[in-house]
Every structure is written in structure tokens, then in C-alpha cells.
Structure 1
Amino acid sequence: MSLDRPVAPNPYELLPSVASFDVRSTDVTDGAPLADAQVADAGNTSPQLSWSGAPEGTQSYVVTCFDPDAPTPSGFWHWVLVDLPADVTSLDTGAGAESASLPGKAFHVRNDGGTSGFMGAAPPEGDMPHRYFFVVHAVSEPTLGVDDSASPAVVSFNLAFKTLGRAVLHGTYQH
């Protein structure tokens, strides 16, 4: 079965331009298929991420994983981690687990699967390859101003006004 629909645009190219900085991963290669560890029915484990070169004035970070290719008008949020302290520049593999100990006052908001923390890739079987954008957002405030009951859309709305820079890495997966 293949869903007959166009490929969604890169959502980060549609946002206002902000400074870019570097994000790397020992678990995800930019543009390459995700490892089983990042797939929902295999490992369901968030990847290691490290970043550098964030813009001056960065006071915190938000880390997200978004699939614009999900068969919904709004895509699918797999991970939203809010209020990482500005002195944190890496996350270990598995930091997206619901039970993970997070630095400072950082917290997860629920993903579109309804749980807090990272939810691995899970596109419909036979669908086109999906892209999973792992993004580190450099934030101009020490806190984004939301709590753990916020939706990913509310987090994104707040990011629109408080993002100084963005580092983007993406992997792919097809079931």
C-alpha cells in the first residue's frame, strides 16, 4: 500500500530565517536511514546529539524531532524537550526516555503518540520514506514559558518568537 500524496516541504525552510549552528550525532547520519534503535518497534531510543556554535545570547535550548511526512496535515511530533540549560551542549543516547534524568529544569512535553519523551520512527507500512528532523533550537530566554502540559504546537508557537538559532539534522525511515 502506498499513500498517493506529494512530499511535504522541509518545515524549517518555511520559518523565518535565524542563525544556524552545528548539530552532530553518533547515532544519526544526516540524510541517511535511521538505525533500528531510533525505530518505534525496534529500539524506540532517542539518538545521541551534540551541538556547537549557538548564537550569542542563547539562554536555553529546545530539542525536537518532527516527521513532516506523516499522513496528517500537521505532521507528527516524535520528541519535544524544553528548557535545557544553555551550558548543556549534548544529550546521551536515550536521553529522550520518559524516565530519563534531565539537566536543570528541562522537561519533555507529550509527543503526538500521547507519551512524554521520544517516540521512534513508525511510518505506515508501504508508505514513502519519512524524514525525521532532529532540531536543536537556541532560545533567547532561560525558559520557553510553557509547562509539561503544553502541546508540541504551543511549544512551536513560542519558539517562533524566542528562537535565536537552529541546528538541523535529519534521518529517514521507510517501513
Structure 2
Amino acid sequence: MTLLGRLLKNRRAGETHTAWNLPNLQGPEQLTLTSEDFGDGDTLPLEQCAKQIGGADLSPRLAWTPLPPGTAQLLLVVEDIDVPISKPAVHCLALVDPAAGHLEPGALSYRQPGPGVRVLRSTIGRGYHGPAPIKGHGPHRYVFQLFALSAAVDSASGTTPVDRARPRALLPAITAPVLGRGRLTGVYER
């Protein structure tokens, strides 16, 4: 596996196709997203990583600054922007009730989501999927992006229920104006 990582060393999805850069998810960058588990640009703890590499697939504790008035729903997107494919891999996609105020560790679990959390499909499955980058590929950045939406997300393209939509169909179909947004990046390397 280390050889594969070295062969793909210069192949990375990059930020261009992240949720952050979608035209419909633009908005003021007035939210500060933080975690007690890691700082922006710091290494993610092993417990937040995938079980296959010895982690617990435990989503981190997340908190944010006060939300803009009129926030109806929060959209949380976690993407690996260094995966060696054309677009970032969505490791978690969730809708959060603004009344939640913060997320406790494990709140993004598919089997037992935290209060006010609605876990959606990701590239990998449902719920939070921690880092498990290819050995030898170098550091991978996992970008936690939080969007304060002025209306609830009900469907992907008018007909597909939000719970069944794939991330790459759902994210560009969101029409609710973004009132504020913030991001936090964790790093992991094998």
C-alpha cells in the first residue's frame, strides 16, 4: 500500500470542487468553527480516524460562534480534499438543528446521531467516516464546513428526498441562501 501512496503522491482532488466553492453555498464567512479535539491545521486524534487503521470513527466535538438571525438549519460537510481522485471525498454530510448549539463527540454517528442531527449519505456511506488515507500518500486535509441556511433542505432536485440523495447531487441543488459559514481543517497522514 505504501508503493501505491508514493505513485499517487502528486494526485489530489484539491479545493476547487469542495462544497465551500459551490456558487450556491457562498455567503459571509462569519462563523468560527472549533473543536476541543484539534485546532485548525492540526493533526486529528486517532480516535477520530477510521476503525480500519485503529481509530474509533468517532466524530469530533464541534462548536461554533453565534448563528446569524434567521438561521433555519445548519449544513455540515466534511471532505477529504487530498484524496487521489478528481473531486474531494465527502466523509460526512449532515443537517443540524440550530438549537443544538454544538455537537458532542460521536454526534455524527449514523446508528445513534446526536440530538438535532440528521445524518445524510456521504461518498462512503452514512454517518461520520474518519480518515484512513493511503499509506505513503502524504498528509490529507479533512475540511469541516458549516453553513447556516435560511431555509430547511427538503430535497435534492425537487423530487429526490434529501435522505436518499448523493452528496454531489444534493450540494449543488441547495437553494436556501447561506447566511453565514465557517470551516475547520484537520490533518492526518499514514
Indicate the TM-score class for this superposition, using the shorter chain for normalisation.
Answer: 0.7 to 0.9
Q: Which amino acid aligns with 2:27?
A: V
Q: CA contact under 8 A between 1:144 and 1:162: conserved in structure 2?
A: no
> What's 2:46 paired with?
36
- Contact 1:68–1:75 under 8 Å retained in 2: yes
TM-score (norm. length: structure 1): 0.87
- Taking structure 2 as the reference length, the TM-score comes to 0.81
Tell me, yes or no, if structure 1 residue 97 matches structure 2 residue 102: no
* C-alpha spacing 1:5/1:101, structure 2 compared with 1 (3 Å): closer
Greater CA radius of gyration, 1 or 2? 2
Q: Counterparts of 1:46-125 in structure 2 under 5 Å?
A: 46-82=59-95, 84-104=96-116, 106-113=117-124, 115-125=125-135
Residue in 1 that maps onto 2:15: 9
Secondary structure in structure 2 of the residue aligned to 1:65: strand
Higher helix share: 2
**2:188 is aligned with 1:173:** yes
**Residue-by-residue CA offset, 1:74-128 (whole Å, 9 max, x unaligned):** 211100112x222222000001111224434x42112212x21000001111102
How far does residue 15 in structure 1 lie from its aligned partner after superposition? 4.0
Q: Is the 8 A contact 2:104 2:114 kept in 1?
A: no
Pick the structure with more strand per residue: 1
| Structure 1 unpaired stretches of 5+ | none
Alignment size in residue pairs: 171
Residue 126 of structure 2 aligns to a residue whose secondary structure is coil
TM-align CA RMSD = 2.0
Percent identity, please.
Answer: 28
What letter corresponds to residue 102 of structure 2 in structure 1? Answer: S
